[in-house]
Each structure stands twice: as C-alpha cells, then as structure tokens.
Amino acid sequence: MDYKPRKKLSIDLKGINVINISIKKIVDEFQTKDSVPKFFIGKQQTEKNLIPSSSQNKIRLGNIMARVRMIVLFDIAKQIGGLVCGTENKSEKLLGYFTRFGDSASDIEPISHLYKTQIYQIAKLLKVPEQIINQSPTAGLWDGQTDESDFGFTYEEADQVLYLYHDRNIDINKIKKNFSNAEKIIERVKNNQFKLKTPYLI
C-alpha cells in the first residue's frame, strides 16, 4: 500500500499471495488547497500561515498515508473475519518512528518486543530471501525515503544504544563514549515519549 509503486523485485515468495492496493486517490484528497474546512480557521489564521513548511508537509502526508493504510486493513479484516497484524518492532516504538492511530494501530503485535537487528537475525534463521533482508528499511512514503536517512543514524547503532539505555539503565554519559550518535538517539526517544502516553486521560 505504498503511495507510489515500488520497484518490483523478482522474489520467489513460495506461494504467498501479494495484493497491491493504491492509496494515492484517498491521500491526494488531503493535498488540495481547500482541504482545511473554513470552520476550523480562526480569525488569527491566514492562508499564509496555514501552509506548512516542506518538512512539516512531508510528515503530515506520511501520517495521512499511514492512517489510510490502517483504514483499508481494518476494513479488509472486517470483511474476512480476520485480525490486523502489526509489524512494529521495539526500535521503532522507542524511537517514536510510527504514526499514532496509523501503523501503530493493530489487533496483534507479535514482534514489538524485538529490536530491529533481532528481526534481521530471525529472518536469516527463517531463510527469508536475501533480496528482502537486504532492502533498506522504508515506510514507502515517497521516492528515496528510508528509515535511517530520516534518523541520521543506523539501526545497528541505535539498537545498541537503546539496549544499554532502556534495558540496562546505563547512564548516557557512559554510552556516548562508544557511540557517536548516542545523544541524538536518546534525544529522539525523549522527544517522542508523548506518543506512548496518548490518548491522555482526564
């Protein structure tokens, strides 16, 4: 369910059926100039300050894509009497690399306790095709988008830092002696804590 079709890989999936569903038409509805109803526009707002920056716009559209995907998946599940299986892992969860009520929405989360690098280890044990394992992790939001380019660090480094900081409770000052991006990684964790605490209860 990518916004734009990815380059097709010639992979033997051993009988697994893959269905491509386009979300482009739905997502494009949110990109029109008049997508914000006038009811929500206050007196202090102008057309100028309603236009987000290019980086804000990318995040906004990425969130729309993730939420549209889940609408489609939950509807399919309802039709066939199934459950939506989530793919969120521990690295993504701690780093806040998910859309609330989007890709974090599911009925079951079988790998949310495993770091990304552990997923790779399991994939190799299960003999998942190398073409899949070697693909750069991406949410498929736009051309050239990858998780690690969004982060500015690799999962390999992040998982080690997260394990030491989150699982072992080791002080960040000790961790950053061995990992150049330790502060950036922990800062991202702290900045995205709110995602794990919503919805707020009154």
> For residue 58, which phi and psi values (nearest 5 degrees)?
-65, -45
CA dihedral (76, 71, 102, 56) positive or negative: positive
Q: What is the pLDDT of residue 154?
A: 95
CB-side neighbour CA atoms (13 Å) of 159:
15
Cα–Cα distances in angstroms (integers) from residue 190 to residues 4, 49, 86, in the given order: 32, 28, 23
Report the alpha-carbon distance of residue 132 to residue 13 in Å, rounded.
10
pLDDT at 33: 58
Q: What local confidence, expressed as pLDDT, does residue 91 receive?
A: 97
pLDDT at site 28: 86
Which regions in the chain score pLDDT beneath 70?
Answer: 6-9, 32-55
pLDDT of residue 48: 55
Q: Which CATH superfamily is domain 24-196 in?
A: HUPs (3.40.50.620)
178 C-beta neighbours (distance < 10 Å), count: 11
Q: Work out the end-to-end distance of the chain between its first and last CA atoms, rounded to an integer number of angstroms.
A: 36
Would you give the DSSP letter of residue 85? Answer: B
What is the structure's pLDDT at 51? Answer: 53
d(CA 118, CA 79) in angstroms, rounded, equals: 33
Question: Could you tell me which residues come within 8 angstroms of residue 132 by beta carbon, excluding any fewer than 6 positions away?
Answer: 9, 11, 123
Q: What is the pLDDT of residues 93-145, one digit of tens each?
A: 999 999 999 999 999 999 999 999 999 999 999 998 888 898 888 887 777 78
